[in-house]
Structure 1
Amino acid sequence: MTEYLLSLLQIIMINLVLSGDNAVVIALACRNLSPELQKKATFWGSFGAIGLRIILTFIAIWLLKIPFVQVVGGLLLIWIAVKLLKGEDEDSHIGGGSSFIEALKTIIFADLIMSLDNVIAVAGAANGNLVLVIIGLAISIPLIIWGSQLLMKLMNRFPIIVLLGAALLGYTAGEMIVGDKAVGSFLEGVMPSLHMILPVALALLVIVIGNYLKRKEKNVLNKEVTNNHAETL
């Protein structure tokens, strides 16, 4: 029961951290439409995006049962966590549609790409439990449709949410790797305690790498600004 509740808390936190971007896509894609069409595009765009997410999630559950796939999924999740902490702004590339159909296509296409991180993370945290997956999907739906502004404001106001979320993804990645049918049994034979150590180690690694890359990028930007300022003098 405790393990079930911990998995559920993981899924809720993952959805809180990763559903914000998907919700913002809807707002950006609909911003040039009339108020009436905005509501229509938001509803049908969300409906299409949620349908895709359900299909992707069940495909992910099936794939994660194949040997070595959980290792690949875990490594992908580490990259997603580092990217989240580094602060790459995917939404800045999303343009607003000038018509209902354009906005609808933008929402569904962008959500298809951006939902992959959420789907992999939820499937990994659920560990094949369909009830947890369904709960995870049910939680993500209102977050996508109604939670965009609130989530982004909370993340901006409390950066610790992003930090904890990235660490959680790193931890989930570790659990996925040690839970892999092929690799998990090998790791357990090498060091039985590794199934507890690796998730914690990867959570810390994500924080270290993400913060390092963030500082490095900030230093490069500051240097460019300084050079540009010097050239204008």
Structure 2
Amino acid sequence: MDFVTSFADPLIWGKLFQIIALNIVLSGDNAVVIALACRALAPEQRNKGIALGAGVAVLLRVVFTVAIASLLNTPFLHIIGAGLLVWIAVKLIVEDGESDEDSITASSKLWKAVQTVAIADIVMSLDNVLAIAAVAKDSIPLLVLGLLISIPLIVLGASLITTLLTRFPILVWAGAALLGWVAGEMFDSDPWLIERFGAATLEHLHYPAAILGALLVVGLGYMLKSRQPDPAT
């Protein structure tokens, strides 16, 4: 009841707006992942996949913000996360254009897409949960409400990006490179590396690490893609 009556306070509305705006900004990468994972789904399942992916993204954002913020300073966590992001990005490149409808049912492909979104969002949420938690403070209902309101906006962004990926397949490589860039940034921010080499040193390596991450994804993706058998033969 206290939470309901507190909506008469303009400060609550201000915090709610901040959470929604912050989540939209921080969910740009989520929209890219959702679009990349759902682009190969059948048209009748694509909207369902995008909606499920967006729901998973927001739900995981809530869970991480509430429960896992204290783990952000755990050594090696960012390094492991960076490795997972590189794996996801390369996998998206390698699987681009594959047509395995005969061997994989539509339902399993949908689940596979949502699973990819979930894994990526678990990793990518590590760096932005603190920002949302700082606005919500101790008001979990306010946090959940703000993130739930953001779902349609994330769906809209993912739908637009999916349309672009379908029309311009080269953007799949650009999206994967973006994930590699994020992986490089995440690697460079690991607490163990900061303690070992110093924050100042790693700050100078921020962009080189991000560029190296993007190049690593594109290079590995190209190498593995070129080794795939030609379906025409």
Please tell me the TM-score bracket, short chain as reference: 0.5 to 0.7
- How far residue 63 of structure 1 moved from its aligned partner, in angstroms, is 3.4
In 2, distance between residues paired with 1:132 and 1:207?
35
Give the structure 1 partner of residue 171 of structure 2: 161
* Secondary structure class of the residue paired with 1:221: coil
Q: Does 1:221 align with 2:230?
A: yes
* Secondary structure class of the residue paired with 1:65: coil
**Structure 1 pair 144/90, CA: closer, same or farther in 2 (3 Å)?**
farther
Contact 1:73 1:173 in 2 (8 A): yes
In 1, distance between residues paired with 2:43 and 2:105?
10
Contact 1:25 1:111 in 2 (8 A): no
What code does the residue aligned with 1:221 have? D
**Structure 1 pair 22/158, CA: closer, same or farther in 2 (3 Å)?**
closer
Contact 2:62 2:147 in 1 (8 A): no
Contact 1:15 1:139 in 2 (8 A): no
What code does the residue aligned with 1:117 have? A
Unaligned 5+ segments in structure 2 are 1-21, 136-142
Identity of matched residues, %: 29
Give the structure 2 partner of residue 28 of structure 1: 45
Give the structure 2 partner of residue 195 of structure 1: 206
Give the structure 2 partner of residue 121 of structure 1: 124
**Structure 1 pair 110/191, CA: closer, same or farther in 2 (3 Å)?**
closer
- How far residue 68 of structure 1 moved from its aligned partner, in angstroms, is 0.8
How many aligned positions are there? 196
What code does the residue aligned with 2:192 have? A
Give the structure 2 partner of residue 53 of structure 1: 60
Q: Please report the RMSD computed on the Cα atoms of aligned residues, expressed in angstroms.
A: 4.6
* Secondary structure class of the residue paired with 1:129: helix
Contact 1:29 1:95 in 2 (8 A): no
Q: Deviations over 1:5-61 (max 9, x none)?
A: xx9898454123212236959953999xxxxxxxxxx98x68974664234443554
Instruction: Report 1:101-140 matches (<5 A).
Output: 111=114, 114-124=117-127, 126=128, 128-130=130-132
Give the structure 2 partner of residue 231 of structure 1: none
- How far residue 64 of structure 1 moved from its aligned partner, in angstroms, is 3.1
